[in-house]
Amino acid sequence: GQSLEQPSEVTAVEGAIVQINCTYQTSGFYGLSWYQQHDGGAPTFLSYNGLDGLEETGRFSSFLSRSDSYGYLLLQELQMKDSASYFCAVLNTNAGKSTFGDGTTLTVKP
Amino acid sequence: EAEVAQSPRYKITEKSQAVAFWCDPISGHATLYWYRQILGQGPELLVQFQDESVVDDSQLPKDRFSAERLKGVDSTLKIQPAELGDSAMYLCASSSGLAGNSYEQYFGPGTRLTVT
């Protein structure tokens, strides 16, 4: 089977940097994606790591270490609108199936 | 900007009734997914289509759930009979291909189902 672990809640202040970790256990690992979901909204794609290392997209960066079965999402210069749930998702080699974690609720305070 | 369309947005139904959800993926996207999301949890894959073929339905409760994508474009997810535990958000997503191209999924707005 597959399992993913991420913290349930994180709180930070506006302008700060926050890191959301994700550890996984899976067979047939292909890559790790990150999604953002605001309350009542649909998940939206943020970032993907297929190889070890750091991927940067504006204020958001994502990191992957295949040997450690670990990744993280880094959010810089936090804004109030970043308050949302963040999900890591393992992409499996089995026909591209994705398995999502239970999400981390980020609260950004003034 | 192309979007995944879903209808209805909200559905209230009584236990033991039948209910159906519809999804129209982004044009040209070969892969279509149906997810169920319970409040406070991540999306759980119910069924994945590649064109009109089912690629994965291992988590679909086949005694009451069915899904089809007859022409490889839009799709319908049906529940019959609905149970109280089926109350959840049902999300449809699409992507442009298998494996390496499937890491970016585009989600529709979802259908919030309440079973009474």
Shortest distance between the Cα of A95 and any Cα of chain B, in A, equals 5
* Nearest CB neighbour to A93, from listed B48, B99, B105: B99
Strands (E), A1-110: 3-5, 9-13, 18-25, 29-37, 44-49, 53-57, 60-65, 70-75, 84-92, 98-100, 104-109
Q: Which CB contacts under 8 angstroms, 24+ apart, belong to B43-46?
A: B43/A43, B43/A87, B43/A100, B43/B91, B44/A100, B45/A97, B45/A98, B45/A99, B46/B77
Q: Which residue of A has its CA nearest to B37?
A: A102
* Position B2 pLDDT exceeds 90: no
Cα separation of B90 and B43, whole Å?
9
- Does residue B1 have a pLDDT over 80? no
Distance from CA of residue B27 to its chain's centroid?
17
pLDDT, one tens digit per residue, over B36-61 is 999 999 999 999 999 999 999 999 99
Residue A42 to residue B105, Cβ atoms within 8 A: no
Query: A52: helix, coil or strand?
Result: coil
Q: What's the CA gap between B19 and B14, in Å, rounded?
A: 10
Relative to beta strand B111-115, strand B10-13 is parallel
**Contacts B40 to A, Cβ<8 Å:** 102-103
**Closest CA–CA distance from residue B20 to any residue of chain A (Å):** 19
Q: Do B107 and A42 touch (CB under 8 A)?
A: yes
Q: Residue A45's closest chain B neighbor by CA? A: B104
**Nearest of B95, B74, B73 to residue B22 by alpha carbon:** B74
Q: Is B101 helix (H, G, I), strand (E, B) or coil?
A: helix
Residue type, A44: T
How many Cβ atoms from other residues are within 10 Å of residue A96's Cβ? 24
Residues A29-60: b if buried by 16+ CB within 10 A, e if exposed: bbbbbbbbbeeeebbebbbbbeeeeebeeeeb
Answer yes or no: are the C-beta atoms of B66 and B59 closer than 8 Å. no
In chain B, % of residues over pLDDT 70: 96
Give the separation between CA B83 and CA B17, rounded to whole angstroms. 8
Taking CB atoms and an 8 Å limit, are A91 and B99 in contact across chains?
A: yes
With helix as H, strand as E and coil as C, how does A73-91 read?
EEECCCCHHHCEEEEEEEE
Res B98: pLDDT: 60
**Per-residue confidence in pLDDT tens, chain A, 110 aa:** 679 999 999 999 999 999 999 999 988 899 999 999 999 999 999 999 999 999 998 999 999 999 999 999 999 999 999 999 999 999 987 667 889 999 999 999 99
Of residues A31, A97, A100, nearest to B42 (C-beta): A100
Q: Would you call A95 and B99 a contact, using CB atoms and an 8 Å cutoff?
A: yes
For A33, which residue in chain B has the nearest alpha carbon?
B103
* Set of chain B residues whose Cβ sits within 8 Å of the Cβ of A91: 99, 102-103
